[in-house]
Amino acid sequence: MINYSIVMRSVNANLLEINQAKSRINQAKKDGKEPEKKDTDLVKTEKQNAFAISQYTDVMTIEKFAKHITSHGSVYSRADISAILYMAVDCMREMLLEGKKIRLGDLGDFSLLLGSKGAETADKFTAQNITNVKVQWEPGQQFKNLLDDAEFNLVASRSAQAAVIKAIKEGKTNVDLNVPVTPDGGGDGTTGGGTQDGGSGTTGTEGSGTTGDQGTSGGNIGGEDGGGDNVNF
């Protein structure tokens, strides 16, 4: 069962300009000035749609995952499985740093994605221009279409839950869900605007790579993860 909550996100193509107008309006109010009409008119054109954001219920550590595997009738002990998983992590890192692409069947492929600063010419580009090295996961067949087997359960967002708890502790009987409240350890972790399909595609910063359709996810400690075919870590 996948828990999800609903968030409202801007879908305007000119969202950057709208946010800049909001900043100018806020600054004008701080300065005791009247905001410019063109800014207030622009902000009024903002359109928001409702999107789903997943809320995970637990974090599966290697130890928890190993225990779960043993519960499925594995002939290996939890300690053995944990050791193998830890070794797999070390070996994957080693192979990736050797420039290899790792293909793990239905789990998918793991490869590297480079980010770099541009140089004026190819002759001036050196390894010093490379600014980061990220791991890219391309899901295998078993992970490419989880929708067919997924079941969903609507829950309150983390910020809404935090607002209710805060109101209970303060002895209030009404809750204003429009006032953001950050839960202990993080919030809903929502950032940016969305699209009709549930999120915007992103590419590697200053680097090469593929673009994935990204969804949104929250969780116990907030944060947002993409849900496209290619996920960068």
pLDDT tens digit string along 112-142? Answer: 999 999 999 999 999 999 999 999 999 999 9
Above pLDDT 90, what percent of the chain? 64
Mean pLDDT over 7-19 rounds to 95
Cβ burial of 115 (10 Å; 0-12, 13-18, 19+) is: middle
Task: Record the pTM.
Answer: 0.64
Amino acid at 47: K
Mean pLDDT over 41-65 rounds to 95
pLDDT tens per residue, range 16-30: 999 999 999 999 999
Distances (CA, A) of 76 to 67, 71, 92: 10, 10, 22
